[in-house]
Structure formats: C-alpha cells, structure tokens
Amino acid sequence: MATRNPGPKRSPFERDRDLAQIAKLYLDGKEQSEIAQILNADRPYSLSQQTISNDLKAVRREWMSIAIENYDKTKQIELARIEEDEGRILDAWDRSQTPRMVVMRESRTDGTIDRQTQEEPGTGDALPPLPNVGILTALDRVRARRCAILRFDSHQKHDDLDTAIWAVLRAGYEVKLPGQ
C-alpha cells in the first residue's frame, strides 16, 4: 500500500493567517471550494478542500468557545446583580416589618379640640406593620429573573408570595403595585 505524500506543511504562522482569512471568507458567504481557490492563488502549493474543511471546523470551535465564555461571564454578572437586588429588597421588607409607633396629640385652638395622629419612632402605642405588596412583587420579579437565567421552571408558583398577598387582601388593605 502506497503512502500519500501530503506536500509541504504550513508553519503555525501561516495556519493562523489562513484561519483568519478562512473565517472572513466564510462570513462573506464563500463556499469551501471558493475559499480553497482564493487561498491557493497566493502560494506555491495547494490546500485541499478537506484542509479548508478542517480549518473551518477549528474556526467554529474557537467561535463557540468564545461565545460560551462570554455567555458564562454575562450570566455571572447578571446573577450578581440579581443577588444585590434581592438583598436590597429583603432589607426593605425587614424595615417594613418593624412596628409603627403612633402618638395621639390634642391641641386646643379657638375652643375646638384638634386631634392628630402622627407616626414617631420609639414613642406611643405600637401598631402592627403594614404589609408592603410592592416589596413582595419586586422580590417575586427578581426571583423570576434568576429562574430564567438558570433555566428553572419560570412558570412555577411562588406559594409564599401568593399566601402573603392573599393575607394582605383579606385584611382589607388596598393593593398598590409599583408605578401606581
């Protein structure tokens, strides 16, 4: 069985240059045979269509590697932002759950009694905290963003949030969503 003489080999520099040119020509819509003709016009030896095919596979692998790396970095950055947003929302929820202190004041002007109710921290009678549906909604949206990025079931119900919202509505509080 006769062995084939593959001909001269390209130097690593020539191959890198060829890969860049192959990528450009491929993006311009050229077929592998056209790419081979263009590259072969400038050299004393010929590159086969199979060599061009192998080089194009290497170019695609490199593009995929770059795309995956960029996607992973972008995903990490967005997850970090979500984590920060969730922390701020949970802090706001904790602040909203501190009991409100109410002071009743009476003042007499012109023989009439004027009664005012004011909230002052640390004085007066403690009232239960007002539930803040806007905070719960924001928390739900942040968690939905995380689920979408991690490709969890984004249609999954958040039972804790639903329970909290219905408790607020049953208690007779008016629900105002952000932006209303």
Residue 45 C-beta-side C-alpha neighbours within 13 Å: 10
Is the pLDDT at 174 greater than 80? The verdict is no
Q: Which one is predicted more confidently, 88 or 175?
A: 88
Output the pLDDT for position 69.
84
Report d(CA 130, CA 136) in Å as an integer: 12
Mean pLDDT across the stretch 67-89?
88
Where are the domains positioned within the chain? 12-69, 99-129
Mean pLDDT of 18-25: 92
DSSP 9: P
Residue 77: is it exposed, middle or buried by C-beta count within 10 angstroms (0-12/13-18/19+)?
exposed
What the block records as the tokens of 148 is 């979408």
How confident is the prediction for the chain on average, in pLDDT?
76
* Whole-number pLDDT of residue 121: 54
Query: Is residue 107 predicted with pLDDT exceeding 80?
Result: no
What pLDDT does residue 58 have? 92
